[in-house]
Amino acid sequence: MKNIYGKRFFLLFFVIVPLCLSAPAGRAEAYVDDLFDLLFGDGTLDPTIRVTNQTKSTVYFAIVYEDYKAREWTARGWWNIGAHQTISIDIPTYNSNLYYYAESDIESWEGSGNNDRDKTYIAVFDNAFNYNVYSEWPEGKNRRDVSFIRITLSGDIDTLSLWGN
């Protein structure tokens, strides 16, 4: 019979406690949650989202996600998706919630309504971007704040279809 209690003791006192003690104010609980997600979670590290453009125009796609490597919320864009094309994006996160925004020359897919949990306002630019949304203020051409839509990933691979003109 294996001694799993010894392993749990080691994990608790030599991994979890030091992480909590070194965590910035307000992050200790998140560190513990993150660690348990990694050790005992459903294995959805680096999920892939497939985005299908069901329109006649090129769509420009951006996402906001909690990057497990940087331990920060990150905004990335743009992916150019041709008419009736599909792309796959690997996302370095273990958080099942992420946000997306998309636009074409004639329409946009953005958050709306009164429920602030289902959207977030983040800056985008005409040029490519990849930045921490809470600590970086990148410069770029035509900076504007847009409303990203929240979605919840359900597995290792999720599909999102953008419909319109």
Domain shared by 29 and 98, yes or no: no
Q: How far, in Å, CA of 142 to CA of 11, rounded? A: 48
Shared domain check, 34 and 77: no
pLDDT tens-digit profile, the chain (165 residues): 444 445 555 555 566 666 666 666 556 666 666 566 556 554 445 789 999 999 999 999 999 999 987 789 999 999 999 999 999 999 998 888 999 999 999 999 998 767 777 889 999 999 999 999 988 888 889 999 999 999 998 877 889 999 988
Please choose, from the candidates 73, 79, 83, 82, the residue with its C-alpha nearest in 3D space to the C-alpha of residue 48.
79
| Residue 120 lies in domain | 48-162
34 and 78 assigned to the same domain: no
Burial class (CB in 10 A: 0-12, 13-18, 19+), 51: buried
Shared-domain flag, residues 28 and 67: no
Number of structural domains (the chain) is 2
Q: Are 8 and 29 contained in the same domain?
A: yes
12/58 same-domain check: no
Among the listed residues 67, 162, 51, 153, the one whose alpha carbon sits nearest the alpha carbon of residue 106? 162
**Burial call 118-137: b when 16+ CB within 10 Å, e when fewer:** ebbebbbbeeebebebeeee
Indicate whether 80 and 28 sit together in one domain: no
Query: Does residue 157 share a domain with residue 84?
Result: yes
61 and 15 in a common domain: no
- pTM for this one? 0.72
Alpha helices by DSSP H, the chain: 4-11, 17-22, 28-40
Same domain, residue pair 93 and 70? yes
In 3D, which of 56, 101, 38 has the Cα closest to residue 75? Answer: 101
Beta strands across the sheet bearing 157-162: 86-90, 48-53, 157-162
Same domain, 15 and 96: no
